[in-house]
Amino acid sequence: MAAREQTPSDPERRTAFADLIRARRKALRLGLDAFAERAVDPVSGTRVTRGWIYRLETGENVESPDYEKLCALAAATELPLRTLQDAAGSQFHGRDPVEGGSPVSVAYVRKLDKLDPEQRDRLFAFIDTLVPPDADEDQ
C-alpha cells in the first residue's frame, strides 16, 4: 500500500512520527546537523539527511521512511525501532499501534497481520465461541 500523501492543510494530517523525532532530538539537545550525523543505519550505512529531517519536522511532504531509514533514526534517537515503526505507521499509513492492552494481547494482535484473511476469519470465529461479541460491551 502506498503512503498517503499529506499536505500541511490536510485536516486529517497525522504527525506522530514528526512529533516523536522533533521531541526526541530536542530532549537529546541536538541541532539538526548533529542529529543528522547520528542518523546512520549501523548495518547498511544508510543515512538520513538533514534536509529530510528538517522537512519532516516542519510539516513539509516527505516520503515514508524505509526500514533502513527507520534503523538510522532509531540510532539517532536512541529509541527502540518498534517505537519508530509504530509512529511512522500512524503518520504515513494511517495505522495506529495497539495501545492499552497487556503485553500478551499486543503480541497476539501483531501476529494477526501475518495471517491470511481466511485464517483470520477462522480465528475470530473461534474467539467468538469463547467470548461472544457482545460480552465486551458489558465491561
For 47, phi and psi rounded to 5 degrees? -110, 150
- Kindly report, residue by residue over 79-125, the tens digit of the pLDDT: 999 899 989 988 988 877 666 567 777 777 777 777 888 888 888 88
Among residues 77, 56, 76, which one has the least CA distance to residue 65?
Answer: 56
- Residue 101's contacts (CB-CB under 8 Å, 6 or more residues apart) are 109
pLDDT in the model for residue 1: 40
pTM of the model: 0.65
Among residues 61, 32, 64, 63, which one has the least CA distance to residue 49?
Answer: 32
Q: Is 102 exposed, middle or buried (0-12, 13-18, 19+ CB in 10 A)?
A: exposed
More confident residue, 94 or 67: 67
Cα separation, 24 vs 64, in Å, equals 19
Cα separation, 114 vs 87, in Å, equals 20
> Do 17 and 87 meet the contact criterion of CB atoms below 8 Å apart?
yes
- Kindly report, residue by residue over 41-64, the tens digit of the pLDDT: 999 999 999 999 999 999 999 999
pLDDT for 7 beyond 70:
no
